[in-house]
Amino acid sequence: MQGQSEQEFLAHLRKHDRVEPVVIGPAGVLYITDHHHLARALYEIGQAVTYCKVLDNLSSSNLDVFWKRLQDDNEVYLRDQGHVITPSQLPTSVKDLRDDPFRSLAGAVRESCGFSKVDSSSPVSNYFEFKWADYLRENWPKTNIAVDDINANFDSATKAALRLAIQKEAIALPGYTGKASCSLREN
């Protein structure tokens, strides 16, 4: 955010609901529970400062209790590109986050009204886009588009993902709309 003061930057993040929620874990380590892509994007542009909202302070917990609490509160998603992982396999820095083309597609599908943002008070609101990414990943072979071609042909891949988003298999996913676009008429 070149040219903006810290106060203007914070106001921008707050206005657009981009303040990063964190939980203080054992030894005072901050754990981001949402807006990981924002954190990575800020890292990529060299932004050294961001803002967060502390959701909970579990600094006096041991690691096992900490991770159990995060799982119970739906504050951690222990899957990586469709595979179950342990807390020790999570990246320890935003610089270590890997690109997941299906997570990017899920964001594009949501922006195109293929599914809607879930009410933040709902227990399924956290990581719902990751669940959509897992659904797209699982059903991607139906599109006949190579995974390696998703980023290079993102518009075509998004259209294919939107077709998957209206399938009956997607009905149980959070935010399902049954729409392939934001327009009143279906394409």
C-alpha span between 126 and 32 (Å, rounded): 12
Q: How many domains does the chain have?
A: 2
pLDDT at 156 over 50: yes
**Does residue 24 belong to any structural domain of this protein?**
yes
Contact by Cβ (8 Å): 118, 128:
yes
| Nearest alpha-carbon partner for 120 in 66, 67, 175, 170 | 175
Do residues 77 and 41 both lie within one domain? yes
Burial class (CB in 10 A: 0-12, 13-18, 19+), 75: buried
Do residues 112 and 47 both lie within one domain? no
Query: Three-state DSSP class for 182?
Result: coil
Q: What's the gap between Cα 146 and its chain centre?
A: 22
Model-level pTM?
0.76
Domain span at 83: 6-88
Do residues 107 and 130 both lie within one domain? yes
**Does residue 121 belong to any structural domain of this protein?**
yes
**Does residue 135 belong to any structural domain of this protein?**
yes
Do residues 58 and 124 both lie within one domain? no
Tens of pLDDT, residues 112-136:
999 998 766 655 567 888 899 999 9
Tens of pLDDT, residues 52-96:
899 999 999 999 999 999 999 888 989 888 889 999 999 988 889
Do residues 60 and 111 both lie within one domain? no
Do residues 11 and 53 both lie within one domain? yes
Q: For position 30, what pLDDT does the model report? A: 93
Q: What is the CATH number of the domain that holds 70?
A: 3.90.1530.10
pLDDT at 14 over 70: yes
DSSP 185: S
Tens of pLDDT, residues 27-51:
999 999 888 878 887 888 887 777 8
Contact by Cβ (8 Å): 158, 141:
no
Q: What is the CATH number of the domain that holds 148?
A: 1.10.8.10
Query: Three-state DSSP class for 20?
Result: strand
